[in-house]
A and B are shown apart, each in its own frame.
Chain A
């Protein structure tokens, strides 16, 4: 017996695949017809094929546990998530708009700070920003761009529209999994690629390479580009290695680099070779022990000197994370308006700022309904999900908010969209998901066709982070 599509229901949530029991949405029609033709055995075989492909391809991510770091196979659901190309075009334009504005904003913050002088953003928000780097003031990066690689999280709410949940401008990861998800799906559901017009995603590494190459301070035909990783114990090491390999550039650790005469060199078998562009996957504070964390051995002493002198390009530029702050996030619609004089094409999720008295009062009175997030954490850490919290959790967060209101924002509990996901022994159940497209910016701006769809694998859960048990699906932008 095949999977039961008739009884599938996502209840009150918007479902990405099915509009009502048994009826597929337009971009999902061919997909569902094909899946319906599969017997239970077919599905099980393909699931099995996906698992062994993942093992053979060595697609993994590292999880920190008390017993040490464990390399886990990438959790993957074989049913893809289709999105109509027409709708994606709007989202893509919205992301380009957003990132263009954010980069103008970051550049402004490190120069005249016009947006603050004009009273759009209160000065103290910036003063208390954890990711603002005084060391970067006055620096002029190529094309005025600071955040070259961004992963912006989108969610689809129950009205079927996309909203921006957050911008990741520091060292966003996940793009390699987007590419591997596609590679796995091609192997597991090959017949679908003959029938459905699915946008390609595999041009990303070439685009990333071009973006990085365009930043080179030396006008060379073949600038020397490296990916700087903290090393194999980092949860995204798989991705660092993958991207270096796909771009055909060196994967280096801090100890492979050295700064001499304010230029960066790597230690090669022929001696020292000058490096032009560093795609760094290390947080700001570990980049250079001379300037930031003195204890850090991950970075390179003198790197900031070399960067400030313009002898090496860093992507993302140090300090770009200032716009990663969730309080700043709340201001992005104003930021877009201020720099571009346009209305945002993709709205933000409604956000309450705890430093404002009225909004804080509302937040404290409604903790059981809201999601509270610290302004500068990533990976879903340190959050309160109101409806799933205990009284004690809420008391703890009330204290945290009162002690440091600037550091907290709150949002309504989102009715994240769902998609049919295979759970247990071939049962089909709705699971919540989000989407992380990747945006590249240097001279031009480029947005991936779709992105990484992350799935909360636990029933009813809204937490999609892989470090917390989330899974993923292939994302299809479909001409329909």
Chain B
């Protein structure tokens, strides 16, 4: 398999995962709007902070309100973090790797792209937002389903899996971060406990993890329970532990992987050492930040091992 194709397939998967998770992220906040008591002063701008997009946002918008944040994350085609530009990156990458992905990937990608460009306004307005985000998530799932159902488990598959799991892990840290940020905004008052529970419940729901959390932990939704589950549970496919495991598994199947696998395994053994489940405020945000840096360095190793060198 060509190095360049490997790189493009990897990015296809990353962007696809990013689109789906950005939609999920907005959905968490959208749901919270309905569920939280009105006394909780709730900030959409958190979504910009956790995407580390403050500067880009400030270049475009003065007011940090819901409409602008959603517009930025969905429809801004001049930044790389929006759903619209991630989708066009997917399209460009699939267009240049049609020889290694299943034939229908191209058609489904085009369909999703058309759906989003034609309905983006629905997503920006609160009224049609739920339906729109649902459509986006389903479109992504459809492509994933196609890949799962018809793609041979060859190197291209492993690069898709590498990209998907790395981006997924990264997005899980961001969704957790969104949760912590929201919790920190809840003022200590009578409704606080209830509000916190609503927030952690929304975090689980956004990852489709409510049911499995219940089945695995058999306990109530609490902050430390949710954080532990999303970081360390091995069986649920969107947790950090699971994603890391999948990354190592794929890396091992690829050629020339000895060195990178050794580094990954070393990481895996120490990665949760610094979590403090007693302190879910700022210390957790710091930890999640470090985790993101760690994930970024995994990308660097992947690129150095398999992708073409920059000219």
Chain A interface residues toward B at CB < 8 A: 55-58, 232, 237, 241-242, 244-245, 248-253, 255-256, 266-271
A232 to B98, CA, bound (A): 12
Contacts of A57 in B (CB 8 A): 106-107, 110
Q: A244-B98, A245-B98, A256-B2 are known contacts; what are 11 more A-B pairs with Cβ within 8 Å?
A: A58-B109, A232-B96, A241-B95, A250-B99, A251-B98, A251-B99, A255-B308, A269-B2, A269-B3, A270-B255, A271-B256
A20 to B162, CA, bound (A): 64
Per-residue A-contact encoding for B236-258, CB less than 8 Å = 1, 0 else = 00000000000000000011100
Q: Are B256 and A270 neighbours in the complex by a CB distance under 8 Å? A: yes
CB-based closest 7 A-B pairs: A270-B255, A244-B99, A245-B99, A245-B98, A58-B110, A269-B306, A241-B98
Instruction: Answer yes or no: B58 CB below 8 A from chain A CBs.
Output: no
B residues contacting the other copy or chain, number (CB 8 A): 25
Known contacts: A232-B92, A249-B99. The answer to whether A56 contacts B107 by CB under 8 A is: yes
A271 to B3, CA, bound (A): 9
Number of A-B residue pairs, CB cutoff 8 Å, is 69
Nearest-CB distance from A13 to chain B (Å)? 38
Contacts of B255 in A (CB 8 A): 269-271
Q: Are B2 and A267 neighbours in the complex by a CB distance under 8 Å? A: yes
Instruction: Answer yes or no: B5 CB below 8 A from chain A CBs.
Output: yes
Q: Are B110 and A55 neighbours in the complex by a CB distance under 8 Å? A: yes
A284 to B308, CA, bound (A): 26
Q: Are B256 and A250 neighbours in the complex by a CB distance under 8 Å? A: no
Subset of 17 A-B contacts with CB under 8 Å: A56-B110, A57-B107, A57-B110, A58-B109, A232-B92, A232-B95, A237-B95, A245-B98, A245-B99, A245-B103, A251-B96, A255-B4, A268-B3, A269-B6, A269-B306, A270-B255, A270-B256
Contacts of A232 in B (CB 8 A): 92, 95-96
A250 to B99, CA, bound (A): 7
Q: Are A268 and B114 neighbours in the complex by a CB distance under 8 Å? A: no
Q: Are A268 and B1 neighbours in the complex by a CB distance under 8 Å? A: yes
What's the dominant secondary structure at chain B's contact region?
Answer: helix
A241 to B3, CA, bound (A): 17
Nearest-CB distance from B251 to chain A (Å)? 11
Nearest-CB distance from A82 to chain B (Å)? 28
Instruction: Answer yes or no: B111 CB below 8 A from chain A CBs.
Output: yes
A57 to B111, CA, bound (A): 9
Chain B interface residues toward A at CB < 8 A: 1-6, 92, 95-96, 98-99, 103, 106-107, 109-111, 114, 155, 254-256, 306, 308, 311
Q: Are B95 and A58 neighbours in the complex by a CB distance under 8 Å? A: yes
A255 to B5, CA, bound (A): 12
Pick from A58, A241, A267, A269: contact of B256, CB under 8 Å: A269
Contacts of A249 in B (CB 8 A): 99
Contacts of B95 in A (CB 8 A): 58, 232, 237, 241
What's the dominant secondary structure at chain A's contact region?
Answer: mixed
Contacts of A253 in B (CB 8 A): 4
Contacts of A237 in B (CB 8 A): 95
Contacts of A55 in B (CB 8 A): 110, 114
A167 to B53, CA, bound (A): 55
A26 to B254, CA, bound (A): 59
A232 to B92, CA, bound (A): 9
Residue of B nearest to A248 (CB): B99
Residue of B nearest to A227 (CB): B99
Contacts of A255 in B (CB 8 A): 4, 308, 311
A250 to B5, CA, bound (A): 9
Nearest-CB distance from A248 to chain B (Å)? 7
A255 to B309, CA, bound (A): 11
Contacts of B306 in A (CB 8 A): 269
Nearest-CB distance from A296 to chain B (Å)? 15
Nearest-CB distance from A235 to chain B (Å)? 14
Q: Are B110 and A268 neighbours in the complex by a CB distance under 8 Å? A: no
Contacts of B96 in A (CB 8 A): 232, 241, 251
Contacts of B110 in A (CB 8 A): 55-58
